Amino acid sequence: RAKKHLGQHFLTDENIANKIADSLTETGYDQVLEIGPGMGVLTKHILRKRKFKVTVMELDSESVKYLHEVFPVEHIKLDTSKENFNIIEGDFLKQDLNTIFQGKEIAIIGNFPYNISSQIVFKAIENRHIVPEFSGMFQKEVAQRIAEKKGSKAYGILSVLAQAFYDVEYLFTVPPTVFNPPPRVNSGVIRMIRKKDYTLPVDEKLFFRVVKTAFNQRRKMLRSSLKSMNLSVTLKEDPIFAMRPEQLSVQEFIELTDKIASHGDRNNERTS
């Protein structure tokens, strides 16, 4: 039986599972990490490619038991020898990916548990040096938030941070009817491919802070939402600070961070 607190909605449609597995570009890595394999519906299609070493990470011990005992027998034709298939029981959010994969590049994929989907994206972004590709299924609204461009209502922290390092593509929408139990909302599949140059020309920690602080008060002008960053008087007159965060492209957030780094914080003026 599906466990609600683990966001369990199992795919029942092989075609959709196949389509999600096919979202992998299969270039530039030879290891795939699937988050939340459940009963292995998607796993089967990833293994079928026979191209990758596949690691699955699952929190639910019952599913893990199934994957160990039933799955390899049911799918005996698939290459699930120890070398190519690895099951880790645990919470993805608590794993140290660098240590597990010894710094090797991995593509992350999954039909993600919706209750922690934003955290999964943030963790992938944090580990971007070993994650050249990230694709999978989210609640449609979250998928849109990751893929949207400036000016849209869904554009926010997730969009800016993901798109700063990845090219994001919204692939297709999936209706609730292909899950058991069906979720209440539509789902959306996205693919993120890491940019060739994924280091920013500004202090990355400051960039994250600027983006998060600005969107925490998304209705306000930057001049006021970024007050805590001790902006100098001259800097506050820059027209960019009369804008709201949803009006700024990723590139403009980078420029904003640069301006703050050179005129804000450290240049905290005493005259005001």
- Please, which residue, 6 or 193, has the CB nearer to ligand SAM? 6
- Please, which residue, 87 or 250, has the CB nearer to ligand SAM? 87
What minimum distance in Å lies between the beta carbon of 92 and ligand SAM? Answer: 4
What minimum distance in Å lies between the beta carbon of 5 and ligand SAM? Answer: 9
What minimum distance in Å lies between the beta carbon of 33 and ligand SAM? Answer: 11
What minimum distance in Å lies between the beta carbon of 88 and ligand SAM? Answer: 9
- Residue 19's alpha-carbon distances to 11, 207, 254, in angstroms, are 12, 35, 35
What minimum distance in Å lies between the beta carbon of 7 and ligand SAM? Answer: 5
What minimum distance in Å lies between the beta carbon of 213 and ligand SAM? Answer: 27
- Please, which residue, 57 or 143, has the CB nearer to ligand SAM? 57
- Please, which residue, 10 or 198, has the CB nearer to ligand SAM? 10
What is the 3 state secondary structure string of the chain? CCCHHHCCCEECCHHHHHHHHCCCCCCCCCEEEEECCCCCHHHHHHHCCCCCEEEEEECCHHHHHHHHHCHHHHCCCCCCCCCCEEEEECCHHHCCHHHHCCCCCCEEEEECCHHHHHHHHHHHHHCHHHCCEEEEEEEHHHHHHHHCCCCCCCCCHHHHHHHHHEEEEEEEEECHHHEECCCCCCEEEEEEEECCCCCCCCCHHHHHHHHHHHHHCCCCCHHHHCHHHCCCHHHHHCHHHHCCHHHCCHHHHHHHHHHHHHHCHHHCCCCC
- Please, which residue, 33 or 231, has the CB nearer to ligand SAM? 33
**Residue closest to ligand SAM (Cβ):** 36
- Please, which residue, 171 or 210, has the CB nearer to ligand SAM? 171
- Please, which residue, 60 or 246, has the CB nearer to ligand SAM? 60
The amino acid occupying position 195 is K
Phi, psi of 216 (to 5 degrees): -65, -25
What minimum distance in Å lies between the beta carbon of 193 and ligand SAM? Answer: 22
Query: Which residues in this chain contact ligand SAM in the complex, by CB under 6 A?
Result: 6-11, 35-38, 41-42, 57-60, 63, 91-93, 111, 113, 116
